[in-house]
A and B are shown apart, each in its own frame.
Chain A
Amino acid sequence: MKVSLRWLKEYVDIPWSVAEFAERLTLAGLEVTGVRPVGVPIPPGLRLKSEHPSPVWDEDKVVIAEVLEVRKHPDADRLHLVDLNYGSGTITVVTGATNLKPGDRGQKVVLARVGAVLIDGYSAERVLRPLKPARIRGVLSEGMVCSALELGIAEEHEGILLLDPDAPTGLPLAEYLGDIVLELDVLPSMARCLSMLGVAREVAALSGQQVRYPPTQVLFGPQDAAAQVQVTIADVSLCSRYAALILDSVQVAPSPAWLQLRLLLAGMRPINNLVDITNYVLLEWGQPLHAFDYDKLRDRAHGQTPHLFVRRARLGETLTTLDGQVRTLHPDHLVIADTAGPIALAGVMGGRETEVGPLTQKVLLESANFDAVSIRRTARHFDLPSEASLRFSRGVHPDLVEPAACRAAEWMRQLAQGTVARGLVDVYAARPADQQVSLSLAYIHRTIGYPIPREDILRILRSLEFTVTPSDQDTWLVTVPRHRLDVQHGPADLVEEIVRIYGYHRIPPTLPRDPLPDYQTPRDGHVEDRIRDILVTLGCQEVITYALTRAERERPLVGDGADYVRLLNPIHPDRSVLRRSVLCSVLEIAAQHLRETNRLRLFELGYVYLPRPGEKFPDERRHLALVLTGPRLPEFWDSAAQPPAQDFFDLKGVLEGLLEALHLGEAARGTAWTEWQPTSVSWLHPRRAAALVLRPSTSHGASKTLPPTNSPSAPIVFGYAGQLHPHLNDTYQLGRREVYVAELDLELLLPYLPERFACRAVSPFPPVRQDLAVLVDESTLAEHVRQEIVTAGQPLLREVHLFDVYRGPNIPSGKKSLAWSLTFQADDRTLTDKEVAKLYQKIVGRLEKHLGAQVRAP
């Protein structure tokens, strides 16, 4: 809503500077988002910028002048010489304006004299330029008559600006027309402020004044309107009121300059006096109006009395709207129709056939109220946002129909010399009941948390035109004024009115003193943070990606035929389903990073969305994905110490580090431990793939929150890790490098997080370290060897550490040597060599027996 302050002051005084005015309106909910100065500087302290360059009209150099005579230019056919009286003298200027011709006199125009800064009307960039004396075809011109464009009032110009005849000659233009136009962002709840009167009411409430309402009396002519039109509302749910006024003998002409200027500053284009008046009243009252050419209605009725119907369109009906488009209609669309068919899209746009034009003599003025939802849907369907549909779709009180119609009719009578037929043909089918709200002082104070004085509360409500009557001790019955539809939920709505006018800044801040609720954060509430922190300490970079993807992209990772949560209205096919794989998203980022680096170690902890048959909502599961490739460390200047490339065991190291930090890595510590099993999945290198298997500990009661379907001892595969299958490198644009990846379903893992664990005692007795190298078959898994060692070494074997895997000279083919360091320790004594030797032999014996291992000479 663009508000001219000069216009606004007709309805209310503004007792503040423009900056303060803007601040107060903004804080009360009418945010001032833009300013357009008209001929004056931006007021000091107003922290807004004008979008367009606007000239400041110099008091001495831009003045109102009267045309004394227009003469032909001696040397140019298209130019004229204009003699002007500008109050304190006369001047002759050259002009090419098409709306001044020889013989003209008496017009009021704007004279700019040398030095005045104006918009250069001949430059496309709308630059500001000081006016210089010019010799035009031999005639010296020390000034010019200005167009609206040059003055910064309009975006285009058709000739020079002609002011109204009563404009005082010699008056500085800034004094006559200078203005500040503020752009207001009107909230949906404040739709009543999509009008000058609405804004004036706010100003009045904020400054403790009364609004000066414009007159709404009409001087009626002798004829009755009722005999000249019939109105039927066929669908009362979509049209609560329809009123028509008839004006005869109108003279269609351009509107007076003041009216045109107001429309221009409000962002509307002047058309002719009839249309301009409907728009003027729309801006003043917020009530959209429409003018039909009555004679065309009569023609359509074959000379009979026109009969208007407000009804739903019939399927397939068409209407050519004012913009020349042929609209095919549907019963969802509300139309104004006569006996021959639709003549207007109700509340959205008029029809071309019944449009008023230069030849119109008789007008039917429509003032009506249409259903907000219907108008909104129709305007959206046809992509026809208009000033009228904007207001109807936000809600207009039907009581405004009458004053707005009368105001417009009287203007038409005065400005288009029309005769108004007596009476409003008014069908008020559904008048909304007056809203009454019971409001108590205690409620207000409790909600606001600060005792706003009773006098302030009453003053504020009354200044907003609420009627307040006491009903009990500190309780009032409040009646909502008839221009408002937004008070629907009782006292809460009124508290907002009170506090926004009182001022939020006057409410002293406090912190809640209510008792704090119990601690209810779920057990794994902070585990995501822990996982992220652990991975960061392990050198991984976190990424966060789009949850929306394209199913085909994920197919190699999730397989064919996977079901998806699909969007009905995706913005792009690449973002059309909710993902099932976090890894796929991270691979996308990896490919992008690999364009500028060769090493990365990325992770994302995010959701996947798995549709569940027969259920409305998908299973939203937290997954963790990791992608590693390239050198272990960034490049270093010491070329002898270049780090090796990351491989499977870097990936495994990270995951082991994570699982151990979560106390899920090792057996016999927590509620579960993790095993790595060779596996084969389609998206991993067939010989470099592992399934991560969680083995819930049988000895340890798992936490109570475990899903009942998981029996405590069943192993759970919660993820896969390995080298991305090389045939997928191209799919994911990863080049020819080994890329190591993992994806874990954290929902399977997290229930096993031990709530606590018992810390192992630290033995004060010295540990004994022994190395053990064994030859085993190539096919024997290291983990099997480790498990045998651990089992045999109980209970004094404290650590088992593989420090070498060797194949080569001295090792028979088909065999490998695994070298372990074993640490023995007791809690209660120093171990003797004999004890250790005995245990060592026990371990060796078990390895020989179970795995056919051979001990290598130490």
Chain B
Amino acid sequence: MELEQLRQQALAQLEQVHDEAALRSWNSQFLGKNGALTQALKRLAQLPPQDRPAYGQQVNALKEALLAALEHKKAELHQRELARSLAAEALDVTLPGRPVLRGRLHPATQVMRDILAIFAELGFQVYRSREVEDDLTNFELLNMPPHHPARDLWDTFHTTTPGVLLRTHTSPGQIHVMRQYCPRPIRVVLPGMCYRYEQITARSEIQFQQVEGLAIGESISLSDLIGTLSTFAKRFFGGERRIRIRNSYFPFTEPSIEVDVDCILCQGEVPGPSGSSGTAAAASSCTLCKGTGWLEILGAGMVHPVVLRHGGYDPERFQGFAFGMGPQRMAMLKYAIHDIRLFWSNARRFLEQF
């Protein structure tokens, strides 16, 4: 039977088709205007009329079959083509990505923000005050009259204008805030740069940031101070942190305290008893806390009545607390930075780690 031969021939040739061009020529050979199928249909006229419907149906069926085979082949070729082009598009996904512009904040800014954000949630607003101060505000109004021994705690840069100096701490800001807001309640943090006449070493700088905190009201108490600082320490260093409070001394607070946090590196683990090998050396040596188990993080206290009075507040009615901390020290503890000089040296390989 001719049609059956044609079908077999067409399908056999389609088997041999491996690309688009061959497919096109197959298409025109069998399905084109002058293709085999058209030729087969032309023969219809030569057939006896009674055979024509059946023949016509067979030709149409054959056409359907060839078209279907063609579509199938097309899809197959397309799949193969896609696979080939995908293979050709292979990438080494381990090559480095294309660089994008990446800026970074200085670590001091990042830590300062962390600190201020925690205090913002506790209701402390930011207040800024000047860096060039006078002796009066930096010392005297903070309960350190001239020649007060506590002035030795702050080695001062003086300017050539008598009585004008670079603030040694952010505490003079307390006076500015109090005088501005008296007799309203106060809850502020005072961030800023401070200066001390020191040798620049791995542990000390002539310039450093401080964050001072001040809360004043009719019933702001020592227990509020302890709660505020303990909340801060947990938020900044992690929820499991414990704080320890030591009595201390600052001229502008009474009582004065210092706050330690248990060592974030050794967790304040108590070392085992030292061996009795004839020496008395201690067993543990955490590089961060030097084995003491505690890290000193800040100083604080209840605002001294003299300072309250200088700020305009009546100590009989108002009381408050103040605290001060060094963001550089906090950063050094948190990020195991061993040299404070890295901050203002802005060493590239230091900055790029943050």
Residues of chain B with a CB closer than 8 A to A759's CB: none
Instruction: Name the residue among B215, B218, B230, B278 with the largest chain A CB count within 10 angstroms.
Output: B278
Instruction: Name the residue among A529, A541, A638 with the largest chain B CB count within 10 angstroms.
Output: A541
Question: Contacting B278 at CB < 8 Å: which of A31, A128, A567, A592?
Answer: A128
Q: Are A569 and B293 in contact (CB under 8 A)?
A: no
Q: Are B302 and A447 in contact (CB under 8 A)?
A: yes
Residues of chain A with a CB closer than 8 A to B131's CB: 547, 607, 609, 620
B residues 324-354 with Cβ under 8 Å of A? 343-348, 351-352
Q: Mark B222-236, 1 if CB is under 8 A from A, else 0.
A: 111011101100000
Cβ-based interface call for A155 (8 A): no
Instruction: Kindly specify which of B9-17, B22-30, B54-62, B284-292 makes contact with the partner chain.
Output: B284-292
> How distant is A48 from chain B, measured CB to nearest CB, in Å?
7
For chain B, the bracket of interface size reads: 35 or more
CA distance A787 to B198 in the complex (A): 56
Question: Contacting A489 at CB < 8 Å: which of B274, B278, B306?
Answer: B306
Q: Are A512 and B160 in contact (CB under 8 A)?
A: no
Supposing A449-B224, A634-B99 touch, asked if A521 and B164 sit within 8 A by C-beta, the answer is: no
Question: Contacting A446 at CB < 8 Å: which of B95, B113, B187, B221?
Answer: B221
A residues 829-854 with Cβ under 8 Å of B? none
Supposing A27-B244, A53-B279 touch, asked if A617 and B164 sit within 8 A by C-beta, the answer is: yes
Residues of chain B with a CB closer than 8 A to A532's CB: 105, 109
CA distance A45 to B227 in the complex (A): 28
Q: Are A592 and B346 in contact (CB under 8 A)?
A: yes
Q: Are B99 and A636 in contact (CB under 8 A)?
A: yes
Interface of chain A: mostly helix, strand, loop or mixed = loop
Residues of chain B with a CB closer than 8 A to A489's CB: 254, 304-306
Instruction: Kindly specify which of B33-41, B45-53, B80-88, B121-129 makes contact with the partner chain.
Output: B121-129
Residues of chain A with a CB closer than 8 A to B244's CB: 27, 505
Q: Are A601 and B304 in contact (CB under 8 A)?
A: no
Residues of chain B with a CB closer than 8 A to A50's CB: 280-282
Cβ-based interface call for B42 (8 A): no
Cβ-based interface call for A764 (8 A): no
Instruction: Name the residue among A40, A187, A509 with the largest chain B CB count within 10 angstroms.
Output: A509
Q: Are B157 and A567 in contact (CB under 8 A)?
A: yes
Supposing A535-B103, A620-B131 touch, asked if A449 and B221 sit within 8 A by C-beta, the answer is: yes
Cβ-based interface call for B161 (8 A): yes
Residues of chain A with a CB closer than 8 A to B149's CB: 188, 372, 376, 393-395
Q: Are B158 and A569 in contact (CB under 8 A)?
A: yes
> How distant is B4 from chain A, measured CB to nearest CB, in Å?
59
Closest to A31 in B: B246
Residues of chain B with a CB closer than 8 A to A543's CB: 106, 346, 351
Residues of chain A with a CB closer than 8 A to B150's CB: 188
Q: Are B281 and A536 in contact (CB under 8 A)?
A: no
Closest to B316 in A: A443
Residues of chain A with a CB closer than 8 A to B147's CB: 373, 376-377
Closest to B123 in A: A516
Supposing A520-B181, A567-B160 touch, asked if A188 and B249 sit within 8 A by C-beta, the answer is: yes
CA distance A393 to B150 in the complex (A): 11
Cβ-based interface call for B8 (8 A): no
CA distance A450 to B225 in the complex (A): 12
Cβ-based interface call for B79 (8 A): no
| A to B CB contacts below 8 Å, 25 in the list | A29-B249, A41-B274, A49-B282, A49-B291, A446-B219, A489-B304, A492-B254, A496-B247, A505-B244, A509-B223, A510-B223, A511-B227, A512-B123, A512-B187, A544-B344, A544-B346, A545-B346, A548-B206, A565-B159, A567-B158, A569-B157, A571-B199, A578-B166, A597-B348, A616-B134
9 closest A-B pairs by beta carbon, nearest first, are A449-B221, A539-B101, A29-B247, A117-B278, A514-B217, A449-B223, A496-B255, A509-B227, A536-B103
